[in-house]
Amino acid sequence: MTLDSGQQEKMDTFIQQIINGLTIGSIYALIALGYTMVYGILRLINFAHGDIYMVGAYAGFMLATALGFAVNPSVFGFIVTLLGSMTIAAAIGMAIERFAYRPVRKYSKMTTLITAIGMSLLIEYLFVFIFSGTPRSFPQLLPNENYTLFGNATISTSQILIFVVSLLLMIFLQWIVYQTKIGKAMRAVSYNINSAKLMGINTDFVIAFTFALGSALAAAGGVLTAQYNPKIEPLMGIITGLKAFVAAVLGGIGNIPGAVLGGLLIGAAETLVVGYGSYIGVPSTYRDAVAFAILILVLLIRPAGLLGTNIQEKV
Amino acid sequence: MLTLENVSVNYGAIEALNGISLHIEQGEVVTLIGANGAGKTTTLRTITGLLEPKSGAVKFEGKLTNGIAAHKLVALGMAMSPEGRGVFANLSVRENLEMGAYLRNDKKGIADDMERGFAMFPRLKEREQQKAGTLSGGEQQMLAMVRALMSRPRLLLLDEPSLGLAPLVVHTIFEAIEEIRSNGTTILLVEQNANAALHHSDRAYVLETGRIVMEGNSKELAANPKVKEAYLGE
């Protein structure tokens, strides 16, 4: 089949939209994993999780600036910034669990949920207080180039970076959860916490570990996003966090592959609406509404999500 | 090996255990019988640290264990097959057993104990890679017992191991209890099936609404007219 130039252009645009969609979808997936793991283990929607993504971006910003990676882009600088930011976020995530959630865990789930909402606001405005609400420009840690794929569709270094790093992190997570002792303990705790205690599993440690893991992935999402779209500001985690949460629900909350699938689908749906929504009367300014329209549909049609098996309780 | 002195436990305002005292000696099989809601499971949950007593003392091998977290008690040498089996349905049979050995690092010993468990219940070996949630009730009970043994406990607590199982499976379970005991493990058995429990134990306690109302040699209790009428359906 040969395409005339008009068709070729449409095809290129479509491929470009899909690449862009999967780029942003990979970020949603990284954040959604944290929502879904914490939910799986505590039945808690950790509303502060989106803010950890922002904290990760700021931690990366501070590191890259302080260590001089901003002026000399290098692979080494990128890796140090990424791992440093993930470590800082993991520590903050564990601290939030230890000092905010654990003390109220013995009360109702609603108490923990409200604590999470409070924690989210606290982090957001603490960062506004420290860094002001003015957006900062995240330094480019690697030289960014555009590569032409099919026809006129292009992919940038930062997009490739997002795909490769997300994929590696997801493989790493899969390995932890399914092959390691702590991962098996995580799955045991998520199924039956009292039985897990009877095995000698320190469930508080497993819960803290889960927060650390989820927070590190969100921070990676923050640093990666900042390579793609360098504007960072203290409230950047709100809308992205909510969309990642929708991604987790779409995939089936508590389900790890579901979070990845949900993230990619939300990302793709969003860019497709930007690209083609106008044909069906949906202006591109509705891009942020897409995720929530999907959320409503999921809750109406398949509340357990695409890969979920049980109907989960409402929060 | 284990003593409870005047232990009381509350669920909120409701008193679940009202000053119970009992003791278990090394090598014994002791059973706790009683009706639904008498406090049998509460007693086991208190011993294993899932519940904290309001008053009284729980001592394991002379050490006061009140308020010690459940996961730390496993390291001291007790393990439980909980009520409703509590297997990890999302983990394979093998992974469940690995969780039972969570505190151990001796790969060889763990592998040997796993084989011993499979020898006790060959059906578990057949289902080694299957998710525990796909097992029948009897198989799940077998798994819960072997899983508890994986920590090499000196005291094994069994909560209603025969509940809801077919008579033939109940027989298999009690045979296994005899085998575990012959290996030198002390057992505290909680049962609604008083007949089987008295038959397979040395001593027994009868629990009624949070109090111990009778205790003694299992054979004698089985012959006691009150026990016969209330628990043995004769």
Q: Which residues contact A215 (CB under 8 A, 6 or more apart)?
A: A34, A49, A52, A56, A89, A90, A92, A93, A94
Q: Chain B residues with CB inside 8 Å of A201's CB?
A: 71, 99, 102
- Does A197 contact B70 at a Cβ distance shorter than 8 Å? yes
3-state SS, residue B133 = helix
Q: Which residue among A187, A198, A202 sits closest to B80, beta carbon to beta carbon?
A: A198
- Neighbour-count burial for B24-38, b at 16+ CB within 10 Å, e otherwise: beeebbbbbbbeeeb
Q: Which residue among A191, A194, A203 sits closest to B90, beta carbon to beta carbon?
A: A191
Task: Look at residue A310 and tell me if it is in a domain.
Answer: no
- Position A1 scores a pLDDT of 58
Where does chain A show beta strands of DSSP type E? Answer: 136-137, 146-148, 154-156, 231-232
pLDDT over threshold 90, residue A10: no
Query: How far does B102 lie from chain A, in Å, by closest CA?
Result: 6
Q: Which of A152-161, A274-283, B67-76 has the lowest mean pLDDT?
A: A274-283
pLDDT over threshold 70, residue A139: yes
Mutation target for A interface from B71, B91, B96, B145: give the one with most A CBs within 10 A: B71
Q: For residue A101, what are its two tokens? A: 């959630």
Which strands sit side by side in the sheet containing B14-24, from one edge to the other?
A: B14-24, B2-11, B55-60, B63-64
Q: For residue B9, what are its two tokens? A: 């436990």
The ipTM is 0.94
- Does B50 contact A197 at a Cβ distance shorter than 8 Å? yes
Q: Chain B residues with CB inside 8 Å of A190's CB?
A: 90
Burial class of residue B225 in the structure, from the number of CB atoms within 10 Å of its CB (0-12 exposed, 13-18 middle, 19+ buried): exposed
Q: For residue A299, what are its two tokens? A: 């809750």
Query: How far does A58 lie from chain B, in Å, by closest CA?
Result: 37
Q: How many domains does chain A have?
A: 1
Q: Chain B residues with CB inside 8 Å of A187's CB?
A: 88, 90-91, 95
3-state SS, residue A11 = helix
- Position A151 scores a pLDDT of 76
Q: Chain A residues with CB inside 8 Å of B70's CB?
A: 194, 197-198
Q: Which of A60-69, A97-106, A273-282 has the lowest mean pLDDT?
A: A273-282
Query: How far does B89 lie from chain A, in Å, by closest CA?
Result: 7
Task: Look at residue A112 and tell me if it is in a domain.
Answer: yes
Q: Tell me which residues of chain B have a pLDDT lower than 70.
A: 234
Q: Please give the Cα distance from B85 to B103 (Å, whole number).
A: 20
- Does B99 contact A197 at a Cβ distance shorter than 8 Å? no
Interface list for B 82-101 with A (CB within 8 A): 82, 86-91, 95, 98-100
pLDDT over threshold 60, residue A314: no
- Angle, CA of B98, A178 and A311, to the nearest 5°: 105
Where does A128-167 show beta strands of DSSP type E? Answer: 136-137, 146-148, 154-156
CATH number at residue A79: 1.10.3470
> Which residues are registered as beta bridge partners of B9?
B17
Global pTM value: 0.92
Of the candidates A27, A191, A51, the one whose C-alpha atom is nearest the C-alpha of residue A121 is: A51
Longest dimension (CA), chain A: 68
Kindly state the average pLDDT of the residues A49-75. Answer: 94
- Residue-wise pLDDT for B121-149, tens only, equals 999 999 999 999 999 999 999 999 999 99
Task: Look at residue A2 and tell me if it is in a domain.
Answer: no
Task: Look at residue A102 and tell me if it is in a domain.
Answer: yes
- Position A312 scores a pLDDT of 41
Q: Please give the Cα distance from A186 to A103 (Å, whole number).
A: 20
Higher pLDDT, A85 or A310: A85
Of the candidates A189, A76, A70, A11, the one whose C-alpha atom is nearest the C-alpha of residue B71 is: A189
Task: Look at residue A195 and tell me if it is in a domain.
Answer: yes
Query: How far does A247 lie from chain B, in Å, by closest CA?
Result: 23
Q: For residue A2, what are its two tokens? A: 């040969």
- Position A153 scores a pLDDT of 86
- Does A195 contact B87 at a Cβ distance shorter than 8 Å? yes
> What's the CATH number for B2-86+153-231?
3.40.50.300
pLDDT confidence of A56, banded at 50, 70, 90?
A: very high
Q: Please give the Cα distance from A25 to A254 (Å, whole number).
A: 18
Task: Look at residue A8 and tell me if it is in a domain.
Answer: no
pLDDT over threshold 90, residue A149: no
Query: How far does B158 lie from chain A, in Å, by closest CA?
Result: 12
Chain A CB within 8 Å of residue B70 CB: yes
* Chain A residue whose CA is closest to B70: A197
Q: Which residue has the tokens 């599993």?
A: A201
- Position A119 scores a pLDDT of 97
Q: Please give the Cα distance from A312 to A290 (Å, whole number).
A: 23
Domain that holds residue A286: 18-139+153-301
3-state SS, residue A185 = helix
- Does B91 contact A187 at a Cβ distance shorter than 8 Å? yes
> Which residues are registered as beta bridge partners of B55?
B8
- Residue-wise pLDDT for A73-92, tens only, equals 889 999 999 999 999 999 99
- Does A198 contact B69 at a Cβ distance shorter than 8 Å? no
Q: Which residues contact B161 (CB under 8 A, 6 or more apart)?
A: B81, B141, B144, B145, B173, B177, B189, B191
- Position B189 scores a pLDDT of 97
pLDDT over threshold 80, residue A309: no
The CA–CA distances, whole Å, from A200 to A40, A181, B102, B152 equal: 20, 13, 7, 12
pLDDT over threshold 60, residue A311: no
- Position B234 scores a pLDDT of 63
Please give the DSSP secondary-structure letter assigned to residue A99: I
pLDDT over threshold 70, residue A2: no
* Chain B residue whose CA is closest to A201: B71
Q: Which residue among B71, B72, B89 sits closest to A191, beta carbon to beta carbon?
A: B89
